[in-house]
Copies of this chain bind each other. A is one copy, B any other.
Amino acid sequence: MNTDIDPAELIKKLNLHSEDKQSATELLSSYLQDELNNLEGSQSNYIDELPIEEKQTMYALIAQNDTLADIDLQYQLELHQLNTKYQKLKAEQVYDIRNKYINGSASPKLEDIQKGKEIYDEEDEDIQQDLEYKGIDSFWLTALSNLKSCSSIISDRDSEVLQYLKDIRCEYIPLSKDEDDENVFGYSLIFEFGENPFLENKTITKSYYYANEVDYEGGLVYKFTEVEEPLAWKSDALNPTVEVHVKKQKSKKTGKVRSLKELVEVESFFKFFSPPDLSVLDEIEDDDEAAEVQDELEEQMGLDYSIAEELKTNLIPKAIDWFTGDALNYVDNDEEDEDEDYEDYDSQEDEEDSEEEEVDELSGAPQTQPPECKQN
């Protein structure tokens, strides 16, 4: 085992080969492997060095992991049924009422106003009665804009369309069997639009299906996603995912000038509704090219899945708090956030002494509470 590896030295090597990702990856992998080997108690090829009876015992023990994965899948299927039931309950008891208040199709109950006013800690003001309620303007656009993964992809043109968004809801797809007797289960994200000048669609339904297996930690793995019906824009000019470029061409024969419309793709939130088509892989004959395209598609799908997770787990349950911005006080800062927050400090101050510890102590999320229980 090599205990003398210098990460900085290694990264320098990485830089030298930065155009050659394959070799850089191998180098870093071997570094990470060495790091792992150096951890206390950890040994590579631990089993190989055991006496034969312990080695065979280890084989028998390793075999148990498979049984565990089978039980984990059964657990996930039952959990899905539990989630289906509770998602329905939440829709009936909370989300449907919420939706009516947001869109002005029902006037808020006095008791609800009173209760929320107390929670908001607003005491001075009297509740006014007999008002005409019209709902909250651009509720879902504002809420979406506070989600980090979405704010970065919502363009100004997207906002014009998203102001007509009337609801985002999640419905679980209950467990069923396909023709091969495989489990089919997942969830749908449903985007509902009011009458608007841009989109023909009244609802856009994007469904996520899970694979019939669990990952190393016993969690569900996505299989694929599909959009029920494609987006129908009222005209190309109103489609925020493209820019219409007009090319003038002069005929060599007749000398006549004609205009050719060219659609150029631009970044847009609405590309979320045109997820990458994995079947393109079947058409690529060159293996290296296929591998490259696959990596790219997997990265895109990873991003797609993480947006879906965020909408399902963060946005929908706490839509009110995402609208007001309050949810930002509670959201876990993920690694990226922290990295970004402290980049300047790292680069400017890290030659200095023990201040880093001081800052770490202060850098936690705004709330302090015991760690929540992440169930299995």
Contacts and interface: CB of A to CB of B under 8 A. Distances in A.
Identical copies of this chain, number = 2
Contacts of A44: 325
A7 B344 contact: yes
Contacts of A217: 330, 372
Given A36-B328, A42-B146, A346-B347, A53 B116 contact: no
A310 to B, nearest CB: 10
Interface residues of A, number: 146
Given A298-B370, A317-B68, A373-B220, A101 B131 contact: no
A83 B72 CA distance: 11
Nearest to A369: B215
Contacts of A90: 68, 71
Interface of A: 6-8, 11-12, 14-15, 18, 21, 24-25, 28-29, 32, 35-37, 39-44, 46-47, 50, 52-54, 56-68, 71, 74-75, 78-79, 82-83, 86, 89-90, 93-94, 97-98, 101-102, 104, 108-109, 112-117, 119-120, 122, 127-128, 131-137, 141-146, 148, 151, 210, 215-222, 298, 301-302, 305-306, 309, 313, 317-318, 320-321, 323-325, 328-330, 334-335, 338-339, 341-352, 355, 358-359, 361-363, 366-376
Nearest to A135: B57
B53 A373 contact: no
B373 A222 contact: yes
Contact of A345 (B8, B119, B134, B218): B8
Contact of A368 (B119, B298, B338, B369): B298
A120 B122 CA distance: 63
Q: Which 6 pairs, one residue from A and one from B, show the smallest C-beta to C-beta distance?
A: A41-B145, A60-B108, A59-B116, A42-B325, A219-B372, A62-B116
Nearest to A47: B324
A198 to B, nearest CB: 20
B115 A66 contact: yes
Contacts of A325: 36-37, 39, 41-44, 46
